[in-house]
Amino acid sequence: KSIVILISGRGSNMEAIVRAGIPGARIAAVISNRPGAGGLEFARAHGIATAVVDHKSHPDRAGFDQALAECIDAHAPDLVVLAGFMRVLGDGFVRRYEGRLLNIHPSLLPAFPGLHTHRRALETGVKVHGASVHFVTAELDDGPIVIQAAVPVLTGDDEDKLAARVLAQEHLIYPQAVRWFVEDRLELVAGRVSLRDAPA
């Protein structure tokens, strides 16, 4: 299965997926909307094709989405993975990749959609926090949940400590979700997640 990964920054989730060495997975390209994204370096160093579709060169969302889709489709991926990709994608884009578009969000959805999830978790006083991998639908940080990991919120946590604890889990659950997809076990069926058992 060929995979295109979209990033905006550091790209540690992309790195975790690459390093997982998932049998049957080929990372066809890493695409960033920011030319300076740190993760592009890692991808290049690993011989992965990279591209930048800069949102600043596209005045409106439709134009950006179009340029991004063309860049993605040039690699004809089976799966598109959003890994710290910080642009909201329009309905048309999301529909085009329905069932083959995954995102990771740093909270236990449906709690804390949107930004600053760790700060909000601390402010709210939840004792359990975490991360979710989900299929992308038109609603922001919504969509059928594929896998989640929970971490405790500890006394003395600040945003950075909590973020680091969650990120360590992200690096486990995202490769797992991709592995399931590559193994043809994970599917979106009538808007719901279907996960089949591994063949005996």
Residues in contact with ligand GRF by CB under 6 A are 7, 9-13, 83-84, 104-106, 167, 170
Q: Identify which of residues 133 and 182 has a Cβ nearer to ligand GRF in the complex.
A: 133
Q: Rounded to the nearest whole angstrom, what is the least distance from the CB of residue 163 to ligand GRF in the complex?
A: 7
Which residues neighbour 9 within 8 Å (Cβ) at sequence distance 6 or greater? 34, 37, 38, 39, 84, 86
Bridge partners of 5? 30, 81
H helical segments located in 25-130: 39-45, 61-73, 91-96, 117-124
Q: Rounded to the nearest whole angstrom, what is the least distance from the CB of residue 8 to ligand GRF in the complex?
A: 7
Q: Which residues are annotated as a binding site?
A: 11-13, 61, 103
171 carries an active-site annotation: no
Is residue 18 a contact partner of residue 46, using CB atoms and an 8 Å limit?
yes
Is residue 8 a contact partner of residue 56, using CB atoms and an 8 Å limit?
no
Q: Which residues are annotated as a binding site for (6R)-10-formyltetrahydrofolate?
A: 61, 103
Determine the Cα–Cα distance for residues 115 and 175; give it in Å rounded to an integer: 23
Q: Which residue out of 75, 105, 118, 171 is catalytically annotated?
A: 105
Q: Identify which of residues 135 and 184 has a Cβ nearer to ligand GRF in the complex.
A: 135
| 122 secondary structure, DSSP code | H
Determine the Cα–Cα distance for residues 17 and 8; give it in Å rounded to an integer: 16
What does the buried/exposed string (b/e) look like for 34-72 if buried means 16 or more CB atoms within 10 Å of the residue's CB? beebebbebbeeeebebbebebeebeeeeebbbbbbebb
With CB atoms as reference, the residue minimizing the distance to ligand GRF is 84
Q: Identify which of residues 66 and 119 has a Cβ nearer to ligand GRF in the complex.
A: 119
Query: Which residues are known catalytic residues?
Result: 105
